[in-house]
Amino acid sequence: MHLLFENTIPNLIQLWRGTFKVNLMGVGVEDYVIPEHIWDAIGRETAGAVKTIPSSFVGHFPNIATNQGLYKAEYYSFWFQHLAPILLKDCLPSKYYKHMCDLVCIIKTCLEFSISEERLTILQTELITWVCDYEILLHIADNIHDAGPVWATWSFVMECYAGSLLPAVKSHLKPYGALAQHAK
């Protein structure tokens, strides 16, 4: 899933901002590019939105227009699934907005705690339909089939857990004892 939250979504945002590989692709007048002043408003609304969202869902949220470099998988995940469908509704042409919303539905399906074989088959069809230029995503449904639900195998979950262990390792001489004590 990191592929989506650390690669695909940031690339989509760069496309929508008109900054995706500008040196390689050149600058055009694509109708999916959202003007900078609208991105500024989206950024302010993003930063302001979390003031009314319980902290158990998301903590302090950087302004996506000015501080996108601070975004990690968790921020992209929350922003794309919960804020982008609202914030980008009237900013993107309908075909691009629908394409984005289709990806939101795909992501939400991938993050479900259990997925039936029937739903997995539908997911694979949805991914194939959505992919176009993102062919590397085609393996996601196969991986869920082979390894189980994403929440059980996704490295993001382990990264969060490992991040919570780091403060426990204060002893430079015997870090494993402190780590074992904290992990109980």
Number of independent structural domains in the chain: 1
Cα 46 to Cα 160: distance, rounded to the nearest angstrom? 23
Residues 167-181: what's their mean pLDDT?
70
Q: What is the pLDDT of residues 38-47, one digit of tens each?
A: 999 999 999 8
pLDDT at site 128: 84
Output DSSP code: residue 173: S
Residues 91-116: what's their mean pLDDT?
92
Q: What is the pLDDT of residues 9-36, one digit of tens each?
A: 998 999 888 887 754 555 555 678 899 9
The answer to the question of residue 182 being in a domain is no
The answer to the question of residue 167 being in a domain is no
Position 119 pLDDT exceeds 90: yes
The answer to the question of residue 172 being in a domain is no
The answer to the question of residue 67 being in a domain is yes
58-79 per-residue burial string, b: 16 or more CB within 10 A, e: under 16? beebbbbbeebeebebebbbbb
Cα 99 to Cα 126: distance, rounded to the nearest angstrom? 11
Tokens linked to 75: 């921020």
Q: Among 19-23, 30-34, 67-71, 118-122, name the one with the lowest average pLDDT.
A: 19-23
**Predicted TM-score (pTM) above 0.85:** no
The answer to the question of residue 62 being in a domain is yes
Residues 53-67: what's their mean pLDDT?
82
Amino acid letter for position 74: E
Structural domain boundaries enclosing 44: 2-153
The answer to the question of residue 169 being in a domain is no
The answer to the question of residue 9 being in a domain is yes
